Amino acid sequence: MKLNGIPKFLLLLCIFILTNLNAHAQLIKQWVDTNDNSVQLDASKIRLDSQGNVYTLATKVTSPDWTMLTQKRNASGTLLWQNSFVQSNIYAKDMQVDASGNVYCFGEDGGTGSDAWLVKYSPAGVQQWVYTLPPDFYVAPARIRIDNAGNVVLGYTTRDSISCYDPGTQQYLVNYMEGVEFIKLDGGGNMVMNFHYQPVTCTDILT
């Protein structure tokens, strides 16, 4: 059967598709949670787990120290726990949740970038350990990932000083070059692997 030259089955198919698209296009607000407006919060990351729990990571700017604030809410928006890691000028950068519900948060010194910390919380929000990166001239956190064995892998860039002797001027030339660092820790915070790649050498600088 045709309606104005259009096969009926095709018309019904078009109506079904448009109706289905319209249903999926509608966003229904479930809940809203507003933090204390008396302090400055800079949101960094949001993560979800398989149970529908919501994890948020933010920098709480206060004086004299800043706080890396981690919060967990259930699927209904109820706050289950929150925990704070306080350091001078810490700025929250990245967060991951493993299959067991452990939470890994990473932050750096927002003032100099020379210090950085990786913090692990249990599923109940209890701090398990803190790994402090070796002092460096500059650290720029990039990503946290969890491998299949439950190890946490941290990748970031560094800015290192490299001193090269120039036979022509008979002087040492100091340059600051960016490198890449990878650190793997087990669930207990113990070092499993550390790899540093510096793409620039003295030969590159002097030639």
Per-residue model confidence (pLDDT) at position 93: 87
Judged by average pLDDT, the poorest of 13-17, 113-117, 170-174 is 13-17
89 falls in which pLDDT band (50, 70, 90)? confident
What span, in angstroms and rounded, lies between the C-alpha atoms of 98 and 181? 22
Confidence at residue 95, expressed as pLDDT on a 0 to 100 scale: 93
Q: To which H or E segment does residue 100 belong?
A: none
Question: For residue 195, what pLDDT is reported?
Answer: 81
- Cβ within 8 Å of residue 128, ≥6 positions away: 102, 120, 121, 122, 189
User: In this structure, what are the phi and psi dihedrals at residue 21, rounded to the nearest 5 degrees?
Assistant: -65, -40
Among 77, 32, 84, 36, smallest CA distance to 53 is for: 77
Quote the strand ranges of the chain, DSSP E. Answer: 2-3, 6-7, 40-48, 54-61, 66-73, 79-87, 90-97, 103-109, 116-121, 127-132, 139-146, 152-166, 171-185, 191-197
Predicted confidence (pLDDT) at residue 130 exceeds the cutoff of 70: yes
How many CA atoms, within 13 angstroms, populate the side-chain half-sphere of residue 127? 15
**Residue 193 three-state SS:** strand
Phi then psi for 56, rounded to 5 degrees? -125, 145
Q: What's this model's pTM, rounded to 2 decimal places?
A: 0.73
Cα 149 to Cα 64: distance, rounded to the nearest angstrom: 39
Cis peptide preceding 141, ω within 30 of 0:
no
Arithmetic mean of pLDDT over the chain: 77
CB-CB contact of 152 with 190 (8 Å): no
The answer to whether residue 180 scores a pLDDT higher than 50 is yes
**pLDDT tens string 27-68:** 677 777 666 665 677 777 899 999 999 999 988 887 777 888
Q: What is the mean pLDDT of residues 188-201?
A: 79
Q: How would residue 152 be classed by pLDDT, with cut points 50, 70 and 90?
A: very high
Write the single-letter amino acid at 124.
A
pLDDT score of 64 = 72
Number of Cβ within 10 Å of residue 98's Cβ equals: 17
- So what's the pLDDT on residue 99? 92
Examine the pLDDT at 148 and tell me if it is beyond 80: yes
